[in-house]
Structure 1
Amino acid sequence: MIRFGAWSTVLAVLAVQLLVLAAALAAMRANRLANRLLAALLLVMAGMMIPFVLGYAGFYDAYPWLTAAPFSIPLAVGPLVYAHVVALAEDRPLRAIHVAAPAAQFAYQLALFPFPVASKTWWDEQVHAPFVAAPLAAAILVSMAAYSLVSQRALRRYEQWLAERRRSPAPARRLRTAVLLLAILLCARAGYELFDAMVRPIDYFDLFGFYLLLGALGLFVGVNGWRHAADPAPAIAEPAERNWPAQGAEWLQRLRDGGWWREPSLDLARLARLLGTNTSHLSRALNAAGAGFAAELAAIRAEAVAAAIDAGAEADLLALALDAGFGSKASFNRAFRARYGVSPSAYRARRRRLSE
């Protein structure tokens, strides 16, 4: 007899809400790939809840042929969270390899589903329970753990990219809810598995708490995703074939024009912030355009001192060096000789002879 009690009704309401949110997200035009992947995640979460909705309501007793229906694919949760993060942060899909494990789990259930109930019962007792259940449970935990780590790494990279360009952190905060969902599910599922292994076997009804948590987390992530589905989300993107020498030359010119080279404490990180880039790109560009950050900065400062000498400045050479941003006489002499092949005093003496 089919009867919706409190447990089945609560899970059914949550599952329906997830399906409605999934449909709404899938229909969004903005951030299309990211929103569709989030919709797929909600669909998978609803699918994981459906067997328990049906079981608690008595469907499996009334319709035993529903056994092994391929509703629940928990191996898809981790890849979909990661795919959602990458889609919003980098505007690209994942490689097909990430679909392999979820597809294998779905194919396994789909292949088993058409068999008679007696055959499915025999398979469950003789094959699945003793040989498949434990490795599958371990694979789900490993999948969630691995994708939780790579999702957090991708999120940190995106947060850093946004911060370096002084962009709003809102898109990263939106992604953080999905990454947090995966971490919480991992902890909850691991807790249930440990309880099952170390305290007592978990039965069908003990899992109600986990699926209630699953539905609540899915609802939170889904509502948050739907609220911000159309919000701008700049993606990490660099030209495929960037002209690093030209980029380095441009940044060196901006360094000269901005007068930033006069700052005695100027370092690579400070210059990267002034230019609106990151240190790795700046270092790569300056190495491609010349001799690297330290050598190029020293050369610009040496050129400034030489220009002052050429203009007839009578100030002490050390004073000119300090005004150009050099921190010591030794570093000034070394940089000047590297740039002009003579010491600063010899350069001044030669200019004086030429002007007489």
Structure 2
Amino acid sequence: MIEGLVFGWRTAVLTVAAAVILPIAVGLWTSFYGRTAARTMALLLLVLVGVFTPWLIGFAGAYDKWRWLTFLPVANPLWAPPLLYLYAHALTRGRWPVRGWRHLIPGGVQFTWQAVSFALPLSLKNAWADLSLPVTGPVFTLALTISFLVYGLATIRLLKAYRHALAQQRSDDARFALRWLNRAMVAAAVLAGLWTVYGLWDAIAPLGYRGLMGLYAGLAAITVYLAIESWRQTRVAYPTLEALTTVAPSPASPARDWGAQGRAWADTIRREGWAAEPELSLTTLAAKLGTNTGYLSRAINEGLGVNFSTFVNDLRSEAVAKQMDQGATASVLTLALEAGFSSKASFNRAFRNRFGKTPQAYRAGAARSPQVSDRE
């Protein structure tokens, strides 16, 4: 116990969160796989811990004991939105965008203002705080709101393009869909809204440390979630967007019935059982069929009216349904894994999409839907 400091439950909550996050950030920085994305997330985690650090020490009374801590340059939230975007970019493209460091300039301006203010003599610092904070507080809050909006939309567009490319090239696209990042972004959007409201409210009628505890506890919780989930992603080798969007062009040829070609290839795949390969890709399947990715893609997209992921997962769902029709007694999960699905969640979504009902309902004797091979 340090004299003059009080370590209450508020400080304890934020300290526990920091104790969870910081070791993961160190682990991400030294990660071997997906190094650019992992290091970007490590920086983001450090920024977010820095944002709630003034409250962590403030609840303990550090600012009352050591007045010179005013303007301590650790809380720089303007770095958070671009770092989240850069993380998603590095995860899906394997790198930052060209001159990606420019996205960090606004946060650098905020840090520089804090650092210069922090270096002032104490007598000047107090006067400068009274003069500048009523102005800079709302300005930085508005800038943060705009940043959340701009980079949030940019990240959503990037993830949408990535998922579309995955569905055209991979049958195991659910493994790389980054749904956890969507959940984190929804939570961050809610937090950003609250942050804006709290920030404007605090600028008009200061709430004090206790009044802002809910906001910073929420920030700490989201940061812990980001840390844990991003650490799990270091085990996954994400295909890059460039690799996914590289499809061989279809050579010029006489008009073909792509629907008939797609159904013929579907029959071959059923007969050979190729859909049971969990990591089946457009390139791999084209090689097995003795064609190129351009022809196969046209037969599936134009001929059958579905993307590659839906095509393969429909075939897998049919294989499970056939096993159920024949009275298989194995569990639904076992049948799904044997058919090539990588998880129960992805199987349930695909089966419902194919048959319009859950696997359990189908097994109970519900009427069976038409087969993929009957699609026009």
Secondary structure (helix, strand or coil) at the match of 1:232 reads coil
Task: Compute the displacement of 1:70 (Å).
Answer: 0.6
Shift of the 4–163 alpha-carbon distance from structure 1 to 2, 3 Å rule, reads same
Q: Indicate if the aligned counterparts of 1:26 and 1:35 stay in contact, CA closer than 8 A.
A: yes
Q: Which structure 2 residues correspond to residues 4-19 of structure 1 after superposition, within 5 A? A: 4-19=7-22
Aligned partner (choices 216, 227, 236) of residue 241 of structure 2 = 236
**1:207-256 residue CA offsets vs partner (Å, 9 max, x unmatched):** 1111100001111121111123221211101599x8x9x82317x59968
Amino acid at match of 1:189: W
Residues 1:138 and 2:139 are matched in the alignment:
no
Q: Which range moves more in the overlay, 219-228 or 179-188?
A: 179-188
Tell me by how many angstroms 1:270 deviates: 2.3
Which deviations, in whole Å up to 9, do the C-alpha atoms of 1:119-172 show, x marking residues without a partner? 11111112332x322111111111112111111111111111111213422232
Percent identical = 28
- Confirm or deny: 8 A CA contact 1:75 1:101 kept in the other structure: yes
Equivalent in the alignment of 2:130: 125
CA contact (8 A) 2:10 2:213 kept: yes
CA distance in 2, matches of 1:195, 1:128: 14
Aligned residue in 1 for 2:55:
52
Contact 1:141 1:186 in 2 (8 A): yes
Instruction: Output the TM-score relative to the length of structure 1.
Output: 0.67
1:212 paired residue among 213, 217, 234: 217
Give SS of 2:141's match. helix
Say whether 1:107 aligns with 2:112. Answer: yes
Partner of 2:168: 164
Shift of 1:273: 7.2
Residues 1:113 and 1:254: Cα distance change in structure 2 (over 3 Å): farther
Unpaired runs of 5+ residues, structure 2, are 265-297, 310-376
Aligned residues: 270
- Structure 2 residue 73 is matched with structure 1 residue 70: yes
The reply to whether residue 22 of structure 1 matches residue 25 of structure 2 is yes
SS of the aligned residue for 2:102 comes to helix
Residue 193 of structure 2 is matched in structure 1 by 187
For residues 254 and 158 of structure 1, what CA distance do their matches in structure 2 show? 31
Over the residues paired in the alignment, what is the CA RMSD in angstroms?
3.2
- 3-state DSSP class of the match of 2:209? coil
Moved more, 115-124 or 189-198: 189-198
- Write the letter of the residue equivalent to 1:231: V
The aligned amino acid for 1:138 is: L
Which amino acid is the alignment partner of residue 180 of structure 1?
V
Task: For 2:198, give the aligned amino acid.
Answer: Y
> How much does 1:201 deviate?
3.9
In 1, Cα distance between equivalents of 2:255 and 2:42: 45
Cα pair 1:81 1:182 within 8 Å, conserved: no
1:260 is matched with: 261
1:35 aligns to 2:41 (yes or no): no
Say whether the 8 Å CA contact 1:35–1:229 is kept in structure 2.
yes
Change (3 A) 1:253 1:107: farther
Q: Does 1:88 align with 2:91?
A: yes
Are residues 139 and 215 of structure 1, via their aligned partners in 2, closer, same or farther at CA, if it must alter by over 3 Å? same
Structure 1: gaps spanning 5 or more residues: 278-356
Question: Normalization by structure 2: what TM-score?
Answer: 0.64
Consecutive aligned runs of 4 or more in structure 1 exceeding 4 Å deviation: 194-198, 252-259, 271-277
2:249 to 247, 261, 272: 247
Of 61, 64, 88, the residue aligned with 1:61 is 64
Q: How many angstroms apart in 1 are the aligned matches of 2:244 and 2:166?
A: 17
Secondary structure at the aligned position of 1:40 is classed as helix
Q: Secondary structure at the match of 1:127?
A: helix
Contact 1:155 1:175 in 2 (8 A): no
Please report how far the alpha carbon of residue 11 of structure 1 lies from its aligned counterpart in structure 2 after TM superposition: 0.9
Mark the CA change 1:162 to 1:126 in structure 2 (over 3 Å): closer, same or farther.
same
Query: What secondary structure is seen at the aligned counterpart in 2 of 1:169?
Result: helix
Q: 1:40 to 1:273 in 2, by over 3 A?
A: farther
Aligned position for 2:302: 270
d(CA) in 1 for partners of 2:261 and 2:195?
54
- 2:86 maps to 1:79: no
Q: State the structure with more CA Rg.
A: 1
Alpha-carbon distance, 1:196 to partner: 4.5
1:269-327 alpha-carbon deviations (Å, 9 max, x no partner): 325978959xxxxxxxxxxxxxxxxxxxxxxxxxxxxxxxxxxxxxxxxxxxxxxxxxx
